[in-house]
C-alpha cells in the first residue's frame, strides 16, 4: 500500500529497535534485520512488520510474506520458522506503539497547510484572546474574546473558539470544530465537525407551550480525551457536562447536558447519552446504544451494541439488549425466543 501521498515513508528500523519501541520480546530473528514497512498479516510482504491478535486471522500465519510478526504467546508455536517472532501479551498495543513512532502525523488531526502558509493566511484572533507561544491558527479559524489557547495547540481551518473558552497545551482542534462555554485540558484531540458547548435540550413543557430553560453550565473536557468527527457535547443546564481523563469517543455520538463521563471510557459511534446520565471509570458502550437520562453506569461496566439502558447498571457487569439486562439473561432469552419461533414454524434444529 502506497501511503506516501498522505504520510511520509516508513523509516527503516532494525528488528531490535522494533522490539524496544513496541515493548515486545524478540524471541526469534536477526536483531539487525531491517523492517521497512507495516501491513496486515494477509497483505504483508518482504520487509513488513505485521501482528496477530484476533484468532480470526490466525489462518494467515502459514502464508504471510511478512518479515516479522508481533503475536501473543498462545500463537507463538504456530509461527512458521521463516517468520521472525516478537512476542507480547498485548500484540495490538505493541503494534500501535510502532505505528505511533513511525507515523506520528497519523496519531492526531493535522493541519491543512504548513506553518508558513498559515502565517500568510491566518485566522481571526480577537485582541483580548491570549495565545501562548507555538499556537498554530489556520485560515478561516476564529478565536473569540478572552479565549486562552495553550502552547503547541493547532486550531484547524474554519474552527471557532468561543468567548472565554480555554484550550490546554498540545491539543489538536480539527477543521470546522465549534467550541463554546468549555474548558479543555491538555493533549485533547477533537476531530472535524465536532460541536462542543451548545445548548442542552431543556424545556419546561406544558399545555400552553414549551418554555425554554436557559442552559447555564459548562463543558469540562479533561486531559488526553479524543472526540470523533461530528460528535456533539451539550453544555450543562445547571451543572457541568464532564468528560473524564483519557476517555475516547467515536464519531457521531450525542452527549446531553449534565452528563458525567468518567476516566478512560470508550464510547463507540452513534451512541446517545441523555441528560444527567453518569458513567463511571473504564465504562465501554457499544455502537448505536441509547442511555436514558439520570441513570448511573458503574465502573468497568460494558454495554453491548444496539442496546437501550433504562436503569442503573452495577459496576463490572456486561449488559445488553432492549431493555438492557445482564448479558447471560439476554442471550438466554433470545435463544428461547428463537426456539419458540422455530417450533411455531415447524422447523427442527437442522433446518
Across 32-151, where does the E strand assignment appear?
34-35, 37-38, 48-52, 68-71, 84-87, 124-125, 130-131, 136-137, 142-143, 148-149
122 and 262, same domain (yes or no): yes
State the residue range of the domain holding 285: 115-328
3-state DSSP assignment of residue 19:
helix
29 and 94, same domain (yes or no): yes
250 and 282, same domain (yes or no): yes
Residue 4 inside a domain? The answer is no
Domain termination residue (choose one: 83, 106, 129): 106
88 and 218, same domain (yes or no): no
CATH code (residue 243): 2.160.10.10
172 and 278, same domain (yes or no): yes
- The answer, yes or no, to whether the previous bond of 141 is cis (omega within 30 of 0) is no
Q: What is the pLDDT along the chain (351 residues), one digit of tens a residue?
A: 556 677 777 888 999 999 999 999 999 999 999 999 999 999 999 999 999 998 899 999 999 999 999 999 999 888 998 899 999 999 999 999 998 888 887 777 766 655 555 554 577 999 999 999 999 999 999 999 999 999 999 999 999 999 999 999 999 999 999 999 999 999 999 999 999 999 999 988 889 899 888 899 999 999 999 999 999 999 999 999 999 999 999 999 999 999 999 999 999 999 999 999 999 999 999 999 999 999 999 999 999 999 999 999 999 999 999 999 988 888 888 888 777 877 877 776 655
223 and 137, same domain (yes or no): yes
| 181 catalytic residue (yes or no) | no
Q: Using alpha carbons, select from 162, 152, 233 the residue that is nearest to residue 191.
A: 233
Residue 349 inside a domain? The answer is no
Residue 333 inside a domain? The answer is no
| Alpha helices by DSSP H, the chain | 15-22, 91-102, 115-120, 327-344
Q: What is the CA radius of gyration of the chain?
A: 24
3-state DSSP assignment of residue 303:
strand
**Which residue is catalytic, options 191, 210, 257, 294?**
257
80 and 189, same domain (yes or no): no
Residue 335 inside a domain? The answer is no
82 and 163, same domain (yes or no): no
Q: What angle do CA 198, 199, 200 make, to 5 degrees?
A: 120
Global confidence as pTM: 0.85
C-alpha–C-alpha distance, residues 315 and 112, integer Å: 43
Q: What angle do CA 237, 129, 107 make, to 5 degrees?
A: 75
Structural domain count, the chain = 2
CATH code (residue 20): 3.40.1390.10
58 and 202, same domain (yes or no): no
Amino acid at each position: 500500500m502506497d501511503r506516501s501521498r498522505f504520510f511520509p515513508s516508513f523509516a527503516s528500523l532494525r528488528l531490535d529497535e522494533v522490539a524496544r519501541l513496541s515493548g515486545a520480546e524478540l524471541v526469534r530473528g536477526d536483531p539487525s534485520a531491517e523492517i521497512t514497512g507495516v501491513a496486515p498479516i494477509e497483505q504483508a510482504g518482504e520487509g513488513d512488520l505485521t501482528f496477530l491478535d484476533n484468532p480470526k486471522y490466525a489462518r494467515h500465519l502459514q502464508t504471510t510474506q511478512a518479515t516479522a510478526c508481533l503475536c501473543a504467546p498462545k500463537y507463538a508455536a504456530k509461527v512458521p520458522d521463516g517468520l521472525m517472532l516478537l512476542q507480547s501479551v498485548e500484540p495490538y498495543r505493541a503494534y500501535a506503539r510502532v505505528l505511533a513512532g513511525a507515523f506520528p502525523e497519523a496519531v492526531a488531526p493535522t493541519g491543512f497547510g504548513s506553518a508558513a502558509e498559515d502565517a500568510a493566511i491566518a485566522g481571526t484572533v480577537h485582541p483580548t484572546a491570549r495565545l501562548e507561544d507555538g499556537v498554530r491558527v489556520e485560515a478561516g479559524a476564529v478565536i473569540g474574546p478572552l479565549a486562552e489557547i495553550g502552547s503547541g495547540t493547532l486550531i484547524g481551518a474554519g474552527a471557532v473558539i468561543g468567548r472565554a473558552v480555554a484550550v490546554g497545551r498540545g491539543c489538536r482542534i480539527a477543521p470546522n470544530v465549534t467550541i463554546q462555554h468549555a474548558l479543555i485540558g491538555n493533549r485533547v484531540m477533537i476531530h472535524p465537525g465536532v460541536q462542543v458547548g451548545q445548548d442542552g435540550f431543556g424545556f419546561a413543557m406544558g399545555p400552553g407551550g414549551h418554555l425554554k430553560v436557559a442552559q447555564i453550565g459548562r463543558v469540562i473536557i479533561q486531559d488526553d480525551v479524543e472526540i470523533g468527527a461530528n460528535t456533539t457535547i451539550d453544555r450543562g443546564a445547571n451543572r457541568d457536562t464532564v468528560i473524564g481523563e483519557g476517555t475516547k469517543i467515536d464519531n457521531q455520538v450525542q452527549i446531553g447536558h449534565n452528563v458525567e463521563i468518567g476516566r478512560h471510557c470508550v464510547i463507540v459511534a452513534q451512541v446517545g447519552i441523555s441528560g444527567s446520565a453518569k458513567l463511571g471509570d473504564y465504562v465501554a458502550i457499544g455502537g448505536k446504544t441509547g442511555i436514558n437520562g439520570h441513570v448511573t453506569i458503574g465502573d468497568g461496566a460494558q454495554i453491548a451494541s444496539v442496546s437501550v439502558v433504562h436503569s442503573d447498571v452495577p459496576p463490572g457487569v456486561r449488559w445488553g439488549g432492549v431493555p438492557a439486562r445482564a448479558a447471560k439473561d439476554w442471550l438466554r432469552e433470545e435463544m428461547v425466543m428463537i426456539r419458540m419461533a422455530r417450533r411455531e414454524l415447524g422447523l427442527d434444529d437442522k433446518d
